[in-house]
Amino acid sequence: RKEVEQDPGPFNVPEGATVAFNCTYSNSASQSFFWYRQDCRKEPKLLMSVYSSGNEDGRFTAQLNRASQYISLLIRDSKLSDSATYLCVVGLDNYGQNFVFGPGTRLSVLP
Amino acid sequence: GAVVSQHPSRVICKSGTSVKIECRSLDFQATTMFWYRQFPKQSLMLMATSNEGSKATYEQGVEKDKFLINHASLTLSTLTVTSAHPEDSSFYICSAQDRTNEKLFFGSGTQLSVL
């Protein structure tokens, strides 16, 4: 079983739709969790960190479920510019030197 | 936010030549930098972890004599692909951590094409 798994998609949604991605991780001792966004042939950019209490940034909401070992990302009112690959990243320790990347989920927002 | 500069953005070279890629943290000190490669439609694969002043730690399957990493200062790490071959063609990305050791900041990547 891979350490971090994501549905590769693609998710094709109309503008204005709400879309949710899940990411599961296998190591119960994982310490930190992030969502990154990557545009084609560009570097990943941090979208948001994910905390146990859940966090929201505008149209984006991230949740962490430690018991079930998954994190989620919800995007409301999708924009065309949201089209990208969303990478789930899990930090395996507190020293910050052991990050594992999920394979990414591709999102296409259609006009 | 923290800025990581990666240079060059694109390299086209002949088989057998060596290519050096630079990664700089512009506004913070990065004690640790990471080097990844990414094939089309795949996620990032960690190649090595580079700590300032010490030898890099390579992931399993990554040849350390093929991919030379130097992290001579707190703001600069370099990756040299020695005797590049077509199968080394890939997108190479570096990242660096800020002081909190929590978040990663990425360089803009280098697209290497070996003919």
Q: Is the pLDDT of residue A22 over 70?
A: yes
Residue with tokens 């190591």: A27
Which of chain B's residues have a Cβ under 8 Å away from the Cβ of A32?
Answer: 102
Which of chain A's residues have a Cβ under 8 Å away from the Cβ of B46?
Answer: 99, 101
B28 interface with A at CB cutoff 8 Å: no
- In the prediction, which pLDDT does A5 show? 92
pLDDT digits (tens, 9 = 90+) for A44-66: 888 998 888 889 999 999 999 99
> What are residue B91's DSSP bridge partners?
B38, B111
How far B42 CA sits from the closest chain A CA (Å)? 6
How sure is the predictor about B23, in pLDDT bands with cuts at 50, 70 and 90? very high
pLDDT digits (tens, 9 = 90+) for A27-44: 998 888 999 998 887 788
- In the prediction, which pLDDT does A45 show? 86
| Alpha carbon distance B91, B7 (integer Å) | 12
Which of chain B's residues have a Cβ under 8 Å away from the Cβ of A104?
Answer: 43
Nearest to B110 by CA among B89, B96, B87: B89
| Alpha carbon distance B69, B34 (integer Å) | 10
pLDDT digits (tens, 9 = 90+) for B29-80: 887 889 999 887 677 888 998 888 788 999 889 999 999 999 888 899 999 9
| Alpha carbon distance B45, B33 (integer Å) | 14
How is residue B115 annotated by DSSP?
-
B5 interface with A at CB cutoff 8 Å: no
Q: Is the pLDDT of residue A23 over 80?
A: yes
Peptide bond into A8 cis (omega under 30): no
CB atoms within 10 A of CB A83: 18
pLDDT digits (tens, 9 = 90+) for B75-96: 999 999 999 999 999 999 999 8
Under an 8 A CB cutoff, do B101 and A34 touch?
Answer: no
B2 interface with A at CB cutoff 8 Å: no
